[in-house]
Chain A
Amino acid sequence: EVQLVESGGDLVQPGGSLRLSCAASGLTFSRYWMTWVRQAPGKGLEWVANIKEDGSEKNYVDSVKGRFTISRDNAKNSLYLQMNSLRAEDTAVYYCARNRWMDYWGQGTLVTVSP
């Protein structure tokens, strides 16, 4: 059974940094693109970033370019999202998902950016 478990969400001040992790099990992690999606409170889903199987290609939504970095460690079956220069509008539940078409999702981790 595929399982994705996010962690690292927290309350952080504007301008601060946070690193999210996604631990994957039940799949051959190195064979899949991985994606981060977020959902602000009471709002819709927003695609954030994705990364190719071997990490050689990374894509970002314009609003996080230059501030967020997606990475992966295939030896540890783990996906990461380094978030810097955080803003109030980054407040959201962050989900990791398998594949570009997001067939499996984690339960999400809450990031709150507030003074």
Chain B
Amino acid sequence: QSALTQPPSASGSPGQSVTISCTGTSSDVGGYNYVSWYQQHPGKAPKLMIYEVTKRPSGVPDRFSGSKSGNTASLTVSGLQAEDEADYYCSSYADNKGVFGGGTKLTVL
């Protein structure tokens, strides 16, 4: 599987909203509702933020939301806070094989 495409960087001021895109193909992102998003702070393990395109695990703030249109999935972070500054990765799996995006560094200005 080819890696999913994410922008290398994104930024926003505290309180603003920012959206990160994740583009795949009809064989992964577009073909199944199996898109997940992970947050990773430096030196830490990734943390699941969104799964199955729109679902939020228990404990994840509702400021984080996911969506999908065609072959592109998106993560929106609303009401940006300083602690949201991190790397974000999307992932999809098809035929039980997974693939990640290259990651997006989110900077809170």
Contacts and interface: CB of A to CB of B under 8 A. Distances in A.
Interface residues of B, number: 25
Contacts of A47: 91, 93, 97-100
B99 A101 contact: no
Q: Which of A50, A61, A102, A105 has the most CB of B within 10 A?
A: A102
Interface residues of A, number: 22
B63 interface: no
B74 interface: no
B45 interface: yes
A57 B1 CA distance: 18
Interface of A: 33, 35, 37, 44-47, 50, 52, 57, 59, 61, 95, 100-108
Interface of B: 1, 34, 36, 38, 40, 45-48, 51-52, 57, 87, 89, 91, 93, 95-103
